Each structure stands twice: as structure tokens, then as C-alpha cells.
A and B are shown apart, each in its own frame.
Chain A
């Protein structure tokens, strides 16, 4: 979706290395989300944030960390503790002012192990 920028498009991680995936939005949306997608599977929630300086763990938070210092930005760090990081990572945003607002997605970052 326009307005949500994920970078880089492709990323390679060495053994024992931390890597950070960027997600920036100019939609002025309150909430931001990180998902992991493995081949042939649906989207699994890693972390989400409803407001600046606050975030909550999703279903598969182990081995990941996030920060929300600005409304526009929600970077995801894949730490060395994540032993199987190869996947497609998707960032999404939505507004919380009205109930059940759809989430809108960036174009994803594909992370691979070197």
C-alpha cells in the first residue's frame, strides 16, 4: 500500500548477527504491526504498537525486539536468538479511532541466512 515503506527489500544475516528491518508510514495511523510469513503459511504476529513509546508482544515475539520512538516508525530487530529467521517480514498499520479498521501493508522484507 502507498504510504508504508519497508526497507530493505532483501536482507542477508550472518550467524550471530542482529539485523534491523525498517518500517516507516506517512498515513498518520495510530497502530503498527510486524508479521512473519513462512512459505505456504499465513501471517503470524510478532509485535504490535498502539501508541508511541508502547508496544506488546504478539504470538511469536521470541528472538525479536522493537521500538516505537516516533509515530511514523516501528523498526524490527531480528536478534541472534532467533534461530530460524529466514522468512518474509511484513509491516502493517491501521487507525484505532473507529472499530475494526483494516490493516494496510508494506511490500515486505525478505530475510535470508548467509
Chain B
């Protein structure tokens, strides 16, 4: 079945540093979604990508839909303490429009002030 692999699993960085994480799939996706989950809360959608090669920004966050359609990247520039949390990638589960998503295991980000 479909699988999403996120890396790295966790990151511990200094405030002000840039962050890069990625997500790879065993099959082709036509949508990539990136979510952030703060401790004790539900995930919140950061960026949605719908076209191969698409590069989309949301403030200090930038995400790209890989040309092969099997990967996606999320970059955070000039990290701040409130960037702490778990970042998940997600994509459609299956070929039909069921609305179901498959999620990566998450990248846990910790920022040292």
C-alpha cells in the first residue's frame, strides 16, 4: 500500500536557523499537504500543493511539490521558538476521491532560544 516517509524524524536547532524537511512516497501523488501540530492540539494546515513543480510560500514557510510527484519539501526560514511542534506531510489515500488522507510519521522540531 501507499506509504509516506518523512525525514528527519526530529530536529533540534538554534533560533534563527533555517530548517528543511522532506516527505517521500512509494507512489505518485497529485496533492501534497503540510500540517503543523502544536502540543496537545489538532494539526493545522500550513500549505497545500496541487501541481508538480509548484512552489508555495506562507510567511517564512515554503513548500515544493517535487517534479517526480513522489516527494515534497518544507522549508522554514529564520526559525523562532513558536515554530516548535510536529510537522506532518499528507496526501490522498488511494486513487479515487474518497477524501481520505495518508500521513507521514511527522518531524518533531525543537527550537533553542
Chain B, 58-113, CB within 8 A of any chain A CB: 88, 90, 92-93, 97-101, 103-106, 108
Nearest Cβ distance between residue B23 and chain A, in whole angstroms?
Answer: 11
Please state if A102 and B33 are interface contacts (CB–CB under 8 Å): yes
Q: Which 4 A-B pairs rank lowest in CB-CB distance, beginning with the nearest?
A: A105-B42, A100-B31, A31-B99, A42-B103
Cβ contacts under 8 Å, A31 to chain B: 99
A-B contact count (CB 8 A): 64
Is residue A112 within 8 Å, beta carbon to beta carbon, of the partner chain? no
Given A43-B88, A106-B42, A108-B42, A99–B97 Cβ distance below 8 Å?
Answer: yes
| A42, B106: Cβ atoms closer than 8 Å | yes
Count the A residues whose beta carbon is within 8 Å of the partner chain — how many? 30
Any chain A CB within 8 A of the CB of B45?
yes
Partner of A50, one of B44, B98, B103: B98
- Beta-carbon contact of B45 and A102 below 8 Å: yes
A49 to B, closest residue via Cβ: B99
Interface contact A105-B44, CB-CB below 8 Å: yes
Q: How far is the CA of A67 from the CA of B46 in the complex (A)?
A: 30
Question: Which of A6, A41, A99, A110 has the most C-beta atoms of chain B within 10 angstroms of its own C-beta?
Answer: A99
Which residue, B50, B103, B108, has most C-beta atoms of chain A within 10 A?
Answer: B103
CA distance A39 to B59 in the complex (A): 29
Please name all residues of chain B whose beta carbon is closer than 8 Å to the beta carbon of A101 when the two chains form the complex: 99
Chain B residue with the shortest CB-CB distance to A91: B42
Given A42-B104, A42-B106, A102-B33: A96 and B99 within 8 A (CB)? Answer: yes
Known: A42-B106, A100-B92, A102-B45. A108 touches B40 (CB 8 A): yes
Q: Does B21 belong to the interface (CB within 8 Å)? A: no
Chain A residues 36 to 85 lying within 8 A of chain B, measured CB to CB, are 40-43, 45, 48, 50, 58
A28 within 8 A of B: no
Q: How far is the CA of A99 from the CA of B91 in the complex (A)?
A: 12
Contact A48 to B88, CB < 8 A, known contacts A42-B105, A108-B42: no
**Chain B residues, CB < 8 A from A111:** none
23 A–B contacts from the bound complex (CB under 8 Å): A6-B42, A30-B99, A33-B99, A41-B105, A42-B104, A42-B105, A42-B106, A43-B103, A50-B99, A58-B100, A90-B43, A96-B99, A99-B31, A99-B92, A99-B97, A100-B97, A102-B48, A103-B99, A104-B45, A106-B42, A107-B41, A108-B40, A110-B40
